[in-house]
């Protein structure tokens, strides 16, 4: 149920407030909104009258938002962005059926994207919109229907569909490591690369090979794609998911440096809000993914 209409200011007034807050002056807001400065000022006066609250501190020829108005404007801006996104979604799929999916960049590019054509062929009524998110978030404050999650089942308030157990392989460029190392501890003589979100990976790899309680320093990367390029160009040894480096291993751009793949600390899952009613596009996508991972 919507709140009373008297608490819903007009769109021109909200746009004027947002523009003044972002641009710093009524004249700049007027230029962006293609209005006169007087028209912007009138919209702000109307808004103050409707809300019954002073929104600005007027200093000579300058308007400065009160702290309360800045907080209010931050929420208004978020809502306006949501309306804009909803409009884009409607225009992209007027018949409905859009699925907004948050993805992890490497998994999305190398595992999910090559399979999406099959989903599109089976479900032409669904438009899948992809956006990158690296960490868990609150679904209720976003437009996302579901997300790809790496790790344990520790995302609160969601349901899970397990997709894949990840395996990691220690690799390097042939120019850095010409032949496989004789001992696992020899990796400590090499420059090491690791993800900033997985700083314990080398320690787990060493423990797997009988060398516990070590946490070697390493150069940090925020994504696998850049770390992989660093490894290919001889910057250091890296622990990489096997599904990301199959072609690079085949082409000889990367070589294993010791041992075979080991299981990662986490797995990939599709997650979606537990309390929200499932929309038809998400139901179709979940069923399709379940079929993909059973192949």
The predicted-structure confidence for 148-188, as pLDDT tens digits, reads as follows 999 999 999 999 999 999 999 999 999 999 899 999 999 99
Sequence ranges of the chain with CATH classification 3.40.190.10: 98-164+268-293, 166-263
Dist. CA 104–CA 113, nearest whole Å: 11
152 Cβ contact list (under 8 Å, min separation 6): 265, 266, 267
Q: Is 250 exposed, middle or buried (0-12, 13-18, 19+ CB in 10 A)?
A: exposed
pLDDT tens readout for residues 231-279: 999 999 999 999 999 999 999 999 999 999 999 999 999 999 998 888 8
Q: Which CATH class is domain 5-92?
A: mainly alpha
pLDDT value at residue 58: 76
pLDDT tens readout for residues 26-67: 888 889 999 998 998 899 888 888 888 888 887 766 778 889
Considering the domain 166-263 in this protein, what is its CATH number?
A: 3.40.190.10
pLDDT value at residue 295: 64
Sequence ranges of the chain with CATH classification 1.10.10.10: 5-92
Domain 98-164+268-293 falls under CATH 3.40.190.10: yes
């Amino acid at each position: 149920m919507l709140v009373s209409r008297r608490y819903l200011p007009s769109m021109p007034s909200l746009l004027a407030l947002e523009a003044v807050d972002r641009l710093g002056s009524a004249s700049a807001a007027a230029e962006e909104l293609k209005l006169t400065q007087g028209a912007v000022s009138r919209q702000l006066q109307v808004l103050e009258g409707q809300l019954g609250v002073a929104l600005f501190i007027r200093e000579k020829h300058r308007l400065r938002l009160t702290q309360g108005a800045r907080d209010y404007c931050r929420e208004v801006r978020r809502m306006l962005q949501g309306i804009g996104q909803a409009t884009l979604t409607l225009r992209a799929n007027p018949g409905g059926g859009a699925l907004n999916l948050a993805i992890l960049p490497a998994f999305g590019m190398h595992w999910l994207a090559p399979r999406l054509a099959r989903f599109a062929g089976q479900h032409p009524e669904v438009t899948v919109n992809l956006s990158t998110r690296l960490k868990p978030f609150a679904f209720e404050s976003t437009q996302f229907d579901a997300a790809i999650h790496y790790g344990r089942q520790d995302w609160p308030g969601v349901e899970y569909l397990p997709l894949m157990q990840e395996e990691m392989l220690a690799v390097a460029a042939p120019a850095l490591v010409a032949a496989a190392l004789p001992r696992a501890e020899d990796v400590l003589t090499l420059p090491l690369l690791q993800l900033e979100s997985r700083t314990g990976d080398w320690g787990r790899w060493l423990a797997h090979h009988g060398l516990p309680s070590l946490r070697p320093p390493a150069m940090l990367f925020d994504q696998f794609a850049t770390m992989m390029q660093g490894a290919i160009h001889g910057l250091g040894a890296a622990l990489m998911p096997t599904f990301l480096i199959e072609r690079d291993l085949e082409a000889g751009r990367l070589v294993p440096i010791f041992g075979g793949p080991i299981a990662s600390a986490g797995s990939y899952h599709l997650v979606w809000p537990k309390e929200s009613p499932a929309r038809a596009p998400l139901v179709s996508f979940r069923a399709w993914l379940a079929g993909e991972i059973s192949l």
